[in-house]
Amino acid sequence: TVVPPKRTRCQMMMNSAIMFGREFCYAVEAGLTTPILLSIGLPSNMYSLVWVISPIMGFVLQPIIGNLSDRCSCRWGRRRPFILALSFLLLIGMTFFLNGEQIVSFLMFLCRSLIIAAICVTIIGVVIFDFSADFIEGPIRAYAMDVCDEEDTRINLFYQAVFTGAGGAFGYASGGVSWTNDTSLGRWFPTDRQVVYTAAAVVFITTCVCNLISIPEANPKKKTASKPPALKDISNSSSYPRNSYSSGSGREVVNSTGVNEKQNDEAAPNKTEDQHGEVGGLKSLVRSISSMPKDLRNLCICHLIGWIAFLCMALFFTDFVGQVVLQGDPRSPPNSRQGTLYRRGVEVGNWGLTINAAVSSIYCFLMKPLMRRVGPKTLYIFGYLTFSVGCLVVALVPSIYLVLSLSSIIGIMSATLYTVPYLLVAQYHEEYKQWKGTSKERGIGTDCALITCMIQLAQIITGLGIGALVNIVDTVTVTVITASIVAFLGMLWAAFFVKY
């Protein structure tokens, strides 16, 4: 088992900072992608399907990536190689979807139809970005759990939630400003998108570097020994359950310098058998998923329901404000009245999401003392309930002032989704380290990936379902009503089926 040394506050903040950059970029995508796709001519019955392509790949590959990171023997560590590779892909995807029209204009001699080419480049960028941004969350969280002890892990995850809210706030705010018209940046950048892209790229690269140099990972090839820590319950203790695990034969240990290492203490025949059973990790992964404990399965279902509700609101919120609240039209000429109203609605929607993310970040500070006082169950149910009520009020009374004010209430949901499930996963991991019917321990990277891939499944369901609903009822309001209903169902599931 892993017994990491105590980490300084600076180390944990640097380790968590990448969530600020990731969420900054995510907020830019969530706020601008749908308006971009509609403005360049994508049919309205297809734009929701764009969100499906990447999640399908993610739902299939996310657990495999988590399993491979559990078994990675790179000298640099198990998690950081994956974080670096996925960060590179994230930047490529963001470059494509925010600069699709410019890229096509630069390569216009290769294109027969500029509109079709711009749509294709933008969609490719969205797919690559979603793929990498979703995948990177698992290694980031597993990295934090690997290198921190019980109490530091809990603190680190709360830092991640705070940075996530703050990053989302700044990201959404960047899409709510007319940079080229209201600032002097118009002399240097042709459009607002280029300003936002430059800011997002700088922020993400900076936070990614902070993460990669924050805390050294274990060298899986070294060997020594250690004493395992005691298990503590997160609902009754201020310290966080240690997420120790081993992969293959042997156990994780820590040497005198505080570096996690691995000791192979099994017989040679067993090691040979273990190696043959772990080719690619796929066989072990399938066995892990098929024998998933009931408690973890119920948590995955609850997390899936929560993300379906949240994505119904977040991905189409700016479009809802532009079309329903301000009565604009995304296909009207930019200088027309309806075109101006829609563009104004997108900016207002981004400010609403900014308030949402800011409140989420503030709420994360309150969750630590609240966790000790009322426990994770109350916080989990409260997050779903406030989101359901907030969405229902916004749908029934689409006022611009009401939308902005209720955005603060909705922010509680994102803080809940980014915090409570992973706290529970750590507790379950201690209780279910041994898979039923096998002597092998499961990896926390796989556990985190199983929870995180619920986000991809939620995107698939949202992408396939919401577009059809919008076409049937012919109003974007259905997205907000659906979010309210699904969140209410999630609240019931969290109350009666999730173990705490």
How confident is the model over 96-108, as pLDDT tens digits? 988 887 888 777 6
Distance between CA 119 and CA 122 in Å, rounded?
A: 5
Q: Which helix (H) or strand (E) holds 340?
A: helix 337-396
- Looking up tokens 């076409």 gives 471
Judge whether 264 lies within some domain: no
Distance between CA 43 and CA 49 in Å, rounded?
A: 11
CB 354 within 8 A of CB 408: no
Query: Quick one: pLDDT at residue 109?
Result: 59
Distance between CA 475 and CA 17 in Å, rounded?
A: 39
pTM, full prediction: 0.67
> Model confidence over 60-70: pLDDT tens digits?
776 677 677 77
Confidence of residue 89 (pLDDT cuts 50, 70, 90): very high
pLDDT higher than 50, residue 241: no
331 shares a domain with 215? no
Distance between CA 385 and CA 379 in Å, rounded?
A: 10
| Of 484 and 39, more confident | 484
CB 140 within 8 A of CB 167: no
**In angstroms, what CA-CA distances link 330 with 42, 101, 113, 180, 267?**
11, 17, 21, 20, 67
Query: Quick one: pLDDT at residue 303?
Result: 95
Query: Quick one: pLDDT at residue 483?
Result: 93
Distance between CA 124 and CA 130 in Å, rounded?
A: 10
490 shares a domain with 392? yes
297 shares a domain with 203? no
**In angstroms, what CA-CA distances link 439 with 227, 272, 297, 307, 433?**
20, 15, 21, 34, 10
> Model confidence over 399-408: pLDDT tens digits?
888 888 878 7
Range of the domain at 131: 1-219
Q: Which helix (H) or strand (E) holds 254?
A: strand 251-254
Phi, psi of 254 (to 5 degrees): -130, 135
**Residue 88 belongs to domain with CATH number:** 1.20.1250.20
Contacts of 76 (CB under 8 A, 6+ apart): 217
17 shares a domain with 127? yes
Confidence of residue 257 (pLDDT cuts 50, 70, 90): very low
State which of 188, 204, 219 marks the end of a domain.
219
> Model confidence over 139-174: pLDDT tens digits?
888 888 888 887 888 888 888 888 988 888 898 888
> Which amino acid type is present at position 64?
I
Contacts of 397 (CB under 8 A, 6+ apart): none
Q: Which two tokens stand for residue 281?
A: 């990790």
Radius of gyration, CA atoms only, the chain = 23
Average pLDDT of the residues in 131-143 = 84
Query: Quick one: pLDDT at residue 288?
Result: 66
State which of 196, 219, 242 marks the end of a domain.
219
Contacts of 24 (CB under 8 A, 6+ apart): 167, 168, 170, 171, 174, 200, 203, 204
pLDDT higher than 70, residue 256: no
Judge whether 234 lies within some domain: no
- Alpha-helical (H) ranges within 241-336 are 268-276, 282-290, 294-314, 317-320
State which of 219, 240, 274 marks the end of a domain.
219
Nearest-CA neighbor of 20 among 253, 360, 433, 278? 360
Q: Lowest-pLDDT range, 37-51, 261-275, 278-292?
A: 261-275
Please classify residue 237 by burial: count the beta carbons closer than 10 Å to its beta carbon, then call 0-12 exposed, 13-18 middle and 19+ buried.
middle
How many domains does the chain contain in total? 2
CB 313 within 8 A of CB 448: no
pLDDT higher than 70, residue 250: no
Confidence of residue 45 (pLDDT cuts 50, 70, 90): low
444 shares a domain with 299? yes
202 shares a domain with 301? no
pLDDT higher than 50, residue 451: yes
Over the chain, what is the mean pLDDT? 77
Judge whether 273 lies within some domain: no
Query: Quick one: pLDDT at residue 1?
Result: 52
211 shares a domain with 313? no
Query: Quick one: pLDDT at residue 149?
Result: 80
Distance between CA 71 and CA 378 in Å, rounded?
A: 36
Distance between CA 466 and CA 475 in Å, rounded?
A: 11
